[in-house]
Amino acid sequence: MWRSVGRLADGREIIYFDESPGTGRAAVADPRPLDPFSPAAELRYDPLLDEWVALAAHRQNRTYLPPPDQCPLDPSAPGRATEVPAPDYDVVVFENRFPSLAAAPPGAPPPSGPDDPALVRRPGAGRCEVVCFTSDHSASFASLGPRRARTVIEALADRTAALAARPDVAHVFPFENRGPEIGVTLHHPHGQVYGYPFVPPRIARMRAAARAHRDRTGRDLFDATVAAERAAGHRVVAEGEHWTAYVPAAARWPFELHLFPLRRVPWLPDLDDAQRTELAVLLPDLLGAFDGLFDTPAPYVAAWHQAPVDTAGAPDPGFAAHLQVFTLRRAPGKLKYLAGSESGMAAWINDVAPEEAARRLRAARGARAAGTETGGTE
C-alpha cells in the first residue's frame, strides 16, 4: 500500500491509500471555490448520566441523498468536481466537510458562566473523517475482493494511530453506516472515523466491566466471553484460524455479530499480518451474509470497538478490539424501532432469538459460498 497526502480547496486534509505506486493522485488540485474550513461544534455535559453530548448545528445543511450522478464521494470528472479531486482512486480518506467534532475555530463559545449554572460546555474538539472504500459508486463492502478489503483495513489502522496521537482525542471509532434506514445520507460505499475528545459511554462501560471482572476473578473478560461462546458453539457463525464471529447470547439487535481476533489486541494498529489477511476475506463474507438474510440489501452498522488512549496516544492494553455488526431489519419489510423501553430506559427487548439469528446467518453464508450471491470485485 502507498500513502500520499494532499489538501482540498478549503484546507481539509485528503489521504490516498493506493495499491500501486506513482499514481500522483495527491497532487491533483481541488478546483472548487470553497471557503476556508471552519466548523463550529461544542460539547455539553449531562450530569445525570455523566455523559457528553455533541452539538453540531452546521450539519443540518449537509448533502442529503443526491442522485447518483451528483455523488460527492465519486472521483472528480470533467465538469464535475467532487470531494475527491483525482479522476480515480483505490481507498481515500478525507476530513468530513460537515463534522460532528472539530478543533474549535476562532470565536468559539466560551465555557458557561454564572448566568446559566445548568450549562457546562466545552469546544467540540476532535476529528471526523470519511473513508471511501472504492471509487465504484454501485459497489458495497461485501463486494470487495480481499486485496481492496485489506487496503481498507490498512487505512483504518493508519487513521486510528494518527488520530490517537492528537492531544484532543481520547478514543478512535471507525465505523460504517449502510442503508437509508440507518440514516445514511450518501449511498456511495464508505465509512467514517471519529476521534472523540472523550471516551464514549459504551466503551467506558465495557472497560469498567472488564476491570471489575479482572479484579474479581483474575481473568480477562473479553477472552472469557469469546471462549464461552466458542465452547457453546451454537451461536458461532464463522471460525477461522485467527478470528471468531458469533451472535452474542444477549444480542440487542435482531441480527447482530461480534467478530473477535483470537489473539487479543487493544486496537487495529496491533493486528499482525496474518490477522489482517484473514480479516480481509472474512469481513466481506460476513457482511454479504447480512445481505442474504432478506430479499433486499441489509441496512447495518459495522462498528469497531477499540481501546481508549492515554495522553500519549497509547491504547489501554486491557481492552480487546472487536467488530460489532448489526441490522435493525427484523423481518421482510419490518424494522426494529427503538421505542419506549430502548429509547426511554436503555432497556433492550429483542424480537429474534440469538440462536435463530446465528442459524440464519450461517445459512446465508452457506448460500453465498455456494454461489447464489455474487461478489469479489477489486
Distance of CA 26 to the CA centre of its chain: 24
pLDDT band at 62 (very low <50, low <70, confident <90, very high): confident
Residue 130 buriedness (CB in 10 A; 0-12 / 13-18 / 19+): buried
Question: How many whole angstroms separate alpha carbon 117 and alpha carbon 114?
Answer: 6
pLDDT at 38: 84
| From 188, 190, 305, 322, active-site residue | 190
Give the domains, in start order, of the chain with CATH numbers: 2-196 (3.30.428.10), 201-369 (3.30.428.10)
Query: Is residue 190 among the annotated active site residues?
Result: yes
pLDDT confidence of 128, banded at 50, 70, 90?
very high
3-state secondary structure of 17: strand
Query: What pLDDT is stored for residue 114 in this prediction?
Result: 75
Listing from the earlier edge strand, what are the strands of the sheet with 255-261?
2-7, 13-18, 91-95, 127-132, 190-196, 171-178, 300-305, 322-327, 255-261, 243-246, 236-239
Model pLDDT for residues 143-177, shown as the tens digit of each residue: 999 999 999 999 999 999 999 999 999 999 999 99
Instruction: Specify which residues 309 forms β-bridges with.
Output: 315
pLDDT at 33 over 70: yes
Q: What is the mean pLDDT of the chain?
A: 94
> Percent of the chain, pLDDT > 70?
96
More confident residue, 297 or 40: 297
Q: Tell me the C-alpha distance between 14 and 29, whole Å.
A: 11
| pLDDT > 50? residue 376 | no
Distance from C-alpha of 164 to C-alpha of 153, rounded to nearest angstrom: 16
Three-class SS of residue 36?
coil
pLDDT of residue 106: 62
Model confidence at 375, in pLDDT bands (50, 70, 90)? Answer: very low
297-316 pLDDT, tens digit each: 999 999 999 999 999 999 99
pTM as predicted: 0.95
Residue whose C-alpha cell reads 424501532 in the numeric block: 337
Mean pLDDT of 256-279: 98
Residues 93-98, mean pLDDT to the nearest whole number: 96
Contact 134, 91 (CB under 8 A): yes
**Could you give the CA distance from residue 63 to residue 46 in angstroms, rounded to a whole number?**
30
Question: At 176, is the secondary structure helix, strand, or coil?
Answer: strand
What is the structure's pLDDT at 372? 52
Q: Looking at this protein, which amino acid is placed at residue 273?
A: D
For residue 177, the cross-strand partners are 301
Give the count of alpha carbons within 13 A of 26, CB side only.
19
How do strand 329-331 and strand 334-335 relate by DSSP bridges?
antiparallel
Q: What is the pLDDT of residue 250?
A: 98
Which pLDDT tens digit goes with each residue over 209-230?
999 999 999 999 999 999 999 9
Residue 255 is classified by DSSP as E
d(C-alpha 253, C-alpha 299), whole Å? 12
Closest CA to 358 of 284, 261, 231, 249: 249
Q: Where are the alpha helices (DSSP H) in the chain?
A: 146-164, 201-217, 221-232, 273-291, 345, 354-369
pLDDT above 60 (res 116): yes
Q: What percent of the chain has pLDDT over 90?
A: 87
